[in-house]
Amino acid sequence: MRGTGTFPIEVSHVSRHGFWILAGEEELLLPYEHFPWFRHASIDQIMSVERPTADHLHWPLLDIDLSLDSIRDPAAFPLVAKSPS
């Protein structure tokens, strides 16, 4: 039996510009401009986020993995994949 995760994560708000996550005590914005993979995702897909480690977020329904550092400072991680049309 798996234990309860110790790294809390929650999507707190979704808008047409992006969405906010609560990672422990920290609230972070993921604007679609910097994270285009989420632009056409459903609310269910965005809300289904996991935090397997302190710095790793995973959206299993979208097959997207991001580090918290890349969310905090997207300019430091300039490689951006094209979103599907």
What is the tens place of the pLDDT at every residue in 11-48? Answer: 999 999 999 999 999 999 999 999 999 999 999 999 99
Domain boundaries, the chain: 9-76
Among the four given CATH numbers 2.60.40, 3.40.50, 3.30.2020, 3.30.2010, the one describing domain 9-76: 3.30.2020
CA distance 18 to 34: 9
β-bridge partners, 74 = none
pTM: 0.82
Closest by Cα among 1, 2, 41 to 18: 41
**pLDDT tens digit sequence for 39-55:** 999 999 999 999 999 99
Q: Which two tokens stand for residue 11?
A: 């999507």
